[in-house]
Structure 1
Amino acid sequence: MTRRVDLALHLVTDDRLDADALPSIVDAAVDGGVTVVQLRDKRVTARELIRRARMLSEVIAGRVPLLIDDRVDVVLAALDAGVRVDGVHLGQNDIPPTTARRVLGSDAVIGWTANTEAHLRAAHEMPVGTLDYLGVGVIRPTSTKPDHPPALGIDGFAALSAATPLGCVAIGGIVAEDVAPLRRAGAAGVAVVSAICGAADPAAAARAFAAATGRDAVAATDGAVR
């Protein structure tokens, strides 16, 4: 496996923000210690997602992986247009991760949302190397995803994390104070949306999360996909 990705701190972009504000937020957040950026907006066209991917790819400049939420077609189109995109995060209603792996190849980073024991069983039935991590949540209710499943809490997350060898990234209403208990519960990392995207100082917010993971801004960017 040639993929190598630091899962410690994912920034998922907030679709409530003006798209043209995203590059400066993402740039500041990566400077602050974000280790993965996921572009998420379920409401816009594929063409607009490609435009946003180009903007973010240019500002990230290879410092950390850039993933696209849900859309393997957008990943392929962006790559065809010369945009650096490193992979995809898939939900339960998206194309199967096994298909995404065949289409995107061995170097792509592929994550999958899993929040039940049945989801874990399905992940374990996939060929080794299909998935790089699981997104597990929500930890607590969050306004950024109104249709989220019932909140797991830290104990619920710990039970799922203990049942899989795959790295589990916690998501959903997480604040910096949650990071230490989530790490003790087995989290390979945390994913945040509004806690960074909505902060007055995204770099400072990212630094607070990075510090809670036990990493500084320099160390946090060392695990980018090669």
Structure 2
Amino acid sequence: MSIRDNLDISAYLVIGPENTKGRPIAPILEAVVEAGYTCIQIRSKTASARELIELTCLAADIIEKAGQSDKTALVVNDRLDVILAARKDGIKVDGIHVGQSDIPVSVCREYLGEESIVGLSAQTNELFDYIQTTDVSQIDYFGAGPLHETQTKTDCGTDLDGKVITRSFEEISRLADLSPIPVVVGGGVKRADIPELAKTGISGFFVISAVSEADNPKIAAAELIESWKANCKK
């Protein structure tokens, strides 16, 4: 049974070398895996392909050493080439997350296989119609947001004119009700947002700076997931 069959996106970290205030990534990854995060996405718009492969290998090693390879999914944002190169080197990469302007889902599925995870950023413009009409047969989950404007993912949640569209908790609840597949929401999410977000019925939250740029990433990671578990809608 593949990790795709038991996919859990309840606690999801997105991270790249530009998100750590110049600090090493390894301790942050170790902290979130120890805290029980269920999905890690490697994402960078500045790192080279080789750097991304090395970072993916680092994340895979940390997950494996913690004995969480069958529980913590490792995906790479956009870079199908990085995933294929990493897998050729024997690195366990569970899948890919793509946006609307990235490689088509069908191509990802063709090259990565049926056991791989494929996540898709839900189109912000006309979001609710999109969620209901998109062919989800090859998609495992939608990523949506932002909840707040955020500098760590400036391309998240813009309309056709480039204006940032943030989502209310009411809209997120509606999104959870309408979507035929699991939804993970992020974009400026902080600890104070988690109780209300957890009650919307979505499948999980994703964060970047709330953990990767925190003064103490280990404490921040633990507090976020503890709050989610305490408030999650059953």
| Partner of residue 161, structure 2 | none
TM-score (normalizing by structure 2): 0.84
2:89 to 78, 81, 99: 81
**1:16 Cα shift?**
3.4
The answer for unaligned runs of 5 or more in structure 2 is 159-164
1:75-114 equivalences under 5 Å are 75-114=83-122
Letter in 1 for 2:45: K
The whole-number CA distance in structure 2 between the counterparts of 1:209 and 1:50 is 28
**1:147 Cα shift?**
2.9
**1:33 Cα shift?**
2.2
**1:131 Cα shift?**
1.2
Q: Work out the number of aligned pairs and report it.
A: 212
| Partner of residue 162, structure 2 | none
1:111-134 deviations in Å (ceiling 9; x for gaps): 1000313432453x24x2x11111
Secondary structure of the residue aligned to 1:214 is: helix
CA contact (8 A) 2:132 2:180 kept: no
**1:165 Cα shift?**
1.9
1:50 aligns with 2:61: no
**1:186 Cα shift?**
1.8
1:46-90 deviations in Å (ceiling 9; x for gaps): 122111111121112161111101111111111011111111111
1:95/1:76 CA distance change after superposition, 3 Å: same
Percent identical among aligned pairs is 32
1:99-178 equivalences under 5 Å are 99-114=107-122, 115=124, 116-123=127-134, 125-126=135-136, 128=137, 130-148=138-156, 149=158, 150-178=165-193
| Partner of residue 30, structure 1 | 33
The whole-number CA distance in structure 1 between the counterparts of 2:25 and 2:129 is 35
The whole-number CA distance in structure 1 between the counterparts of 2:112 and 2:36 is 27
The answer for unaligned runs of 5 or more in structure 1 is 216-226
Secondary structure of the residue aligned to 2:185 is: strand
Identify the structure with bigger relative contact order (alpha carbons < 8 Å, sequence gap 6+).
1
2:198 to 165, 177, 183: 183
1:97/1:19 CA distance change after superposition, 3 Å: farther
Secondary structure of the residue aligned to 2:25 is: helix
**1:19 Cα shift?**
7.4
The whole-number CA distance in structure 1 between the counterparts of 2:20 and 2:190 is 19
The whole-number CA distance in structure 1 between the counterparts of 2:133 and 2:99 is 13
Runs of 4+ in 1 over 3 A off after TM superposition: none
1:83/1:180 CA distance change after superposition, 3 Å: same
1:5 aligns with 2:7: yes
CA contact (8 A) 2:19 2:213 kept: no
The whole-number CA distance in structure 2 between the counterparts of 1:18 and 1:87 is 27
The whole-number CA distance in structure 2 between the counterparts of 1:60 and 1:169 is 21
The whole-number CA distance in structure 1 between the counterparts of 2:228 and 2:211 is 15
The whole-number CA distance in structure 1 between the counterparts of 2:10 and 2:80 is 23
The whole-number CA distance in structure 2 between the counterparts of 1:100 and 1:159 is 29
| Partner of residue 224, structure 1 | none
Letter in 1 for 2:183: C
The whole-number CA distance in structure 2 between the counterparts of 1:180 and 1:18 is 27
The whole-number CA distance in structure 2 between the counterparts of 1:164 and 1:16 is 30
TM-score (normalizing by structure 1): 0.86
1:20/1:52 CA distance change after superposition, 3 Å: farther
Shifted more, 31-40 versus 151-160: the winner is 151-160
The whole-number CA distance in structure 1 between the counterparts of 2:129 and 2:22 is 36
CA contact (8 A) 2:76 2:95 kept: yes
